[in-house]
Amino acid sequence: MDYLLNLIDHMSAPGIIVSITAFLVGIKFPDWDFKMGLKHRSLLTHSPLVLLIFFKLYERDKSSSFRYFIMGFALALALHFIFDIFPKGWSGGALLKVPGLNLSLKPMISKSLLFLFIVYSLFEGIRYTRSLTEFFYLFFVGSICLLQNMKKEEKFFRPFFTFGILLFLLGSLKYKEIYKTVEKTSINVIKISKKYYYEIKK
């Protein structure tokens, strides 16, 4: 409850509503390929292409509400792609499709592209934040989504760690506080790893 009150103090209530609405639309958007008569996992919807359109629109009218919309939508795309990168098997519907060519990309290419799409979508979501509060808001919303979809997707730890690690690594590029935390954590992990390695060698 205290966290929600703090959010409202540092973020506008309309902004939160807009970002949540955008998130709910964005998390479903890639699967609209069915409604558009495209093959599942078409690159038209299973990529950040739509974000490029939003960026152009934002350049014309840099409203705060639309900024929140992009934050929520970009986060949602990243999470959808994170779930997609951990399928039960890399064949058929798990592969990305090239629209118009009736072509399924190879597993390694599909994996690589999905990873790039995750990184890019998270990067843009973070880029449109204006404060650490907004950054942690993205982490909070993303974590809730992963928890809610854990049973449906039958996976949690790999998506959660992928999301958390990438979000904080990319966040460290914008926020010094996060950079210092990531740097300190990395040093501690290296020290522990070295200690464990030398103990095994004994």
Contacts of 71 (CB under 8 A, 6+ apart): 19, 22, 125, 128, 129, 134, 138
Contact 53, 61 (CB under 8 A): no
Give the containing element (helix H, strand E) for 24.
helix 13-28
pLDDT tens-digit profile of 20-43?
999 999 999 999 988 887 888 999
Q: Decide: residue 122, CB within 10 A, 0-12 exposed, 13-18 middle, 19+ buried.
A: buried
Confidence (pTM): 0.88
DSSP three-state, residue 63: coil
Measured CA distances, 8 to 21, 65, 191 (Å): 16, 15, 40
Whole-number Å distance between alpha carbons of 54 and 63: 12
Q: What angle do CA 31, 32, 34 make, to 5 degrees?
A: 90
Give the span between the Cα atoms of 115 and 93, in whole angstroms.
17
* Contact predicate 136/149, CB 8 Å: no
Cα–Cα distance between 127 and 171 in angstroms, integer?
9
- The residue with tokens 């292409």 is 49
Structure confidence at residue 5 as a pLDDT band (50, 70, 90): low
Distances (CA, A) of 163 to 28, 77, 99, 117, 166: 18, 12, 28, 13, 5
pLDDT at 8: 61
- Taking only the tens place, the pLDDT of each residue in 130-165 is 999 999 999 999 999 999 887 766 677 889 999 999
Cα–chain center distance at 53: 18
Within 10 A of 38 (CB to CB), how many other CB atoms are there?
Answer: 17
Q: Which residue has the higher pLDDT, 8 or 108?
A: 108
Tokens, residue 130: 């204006």
